[in-house]
Amino acid sequence: MQAHDQYVLERMALPHGPLSDFVLVNLFAEPLGAPMSGDAITQLLGRLSRRAKLERIVTPRMLRRAAGSSAVDAGGGHYWRAHHVAAVPAAVAASDTSHTGTR
């Protein structure tokens, strides 16, 4: 969450940053203020993963899984619990590759 908080601070400091209600928008590439494409997000995560010298490249799917797990661990909100918690154990288990030997 610290990385997202930093992103929001940087975004709000730019003239086109506050104009969109999307989570991730183009801050430095055209079209400025437009939602980032899925490919752009994947490329960004790849660059950041390499810069951080991670063993694995972080993907958007990994972020979704981590966010879901974090929400459940934190108790989630009423909506989350009512509509998603039942599906989370199966979804997290499906993303667990330890039983397949793949990374």
Q: Torsion angle of alpha carbons 41, 43, 44, 48, nearest 10°? A: 140
In this structure, of 17-26, 48-57, 71-80, the range with the lowest mean pLDDT score is 71-80
Structure-model confidence comparison of residues 6 and 59, the more confident one: 59
Residue 102 covered by a domain? no
Shared-domain flag, residues 31 and 69: no
Shared-domain flag, residues 47 and 67: no
Task: Give the range of the structural domain holding residue 27, as residue numbers without chain letter.
Answer: 2-51
Shared-domain flag, residues 7 and 47: yes
Shared-domain flag, residues 38 and 75: no
Shared-domain flag, residues 7 and 30: yes
Shared-domain flag, residues 9 and 28: yes
Residue 9 CA to residue 14 CA, distance in Å, equals 9
pLDDT given for residue 63 in this prediction: 84
In this structure, of 42-46, 47-51, 63-67, 81-85, the range with the lowest mean pLDDT score is 81-85
Shared-domain flag, residues 14 and 40: yes
**32 contacts 16 by C-beta, under 8 angstroms:** yes
Mean pLDDT calculated for residue range 18-37: 84
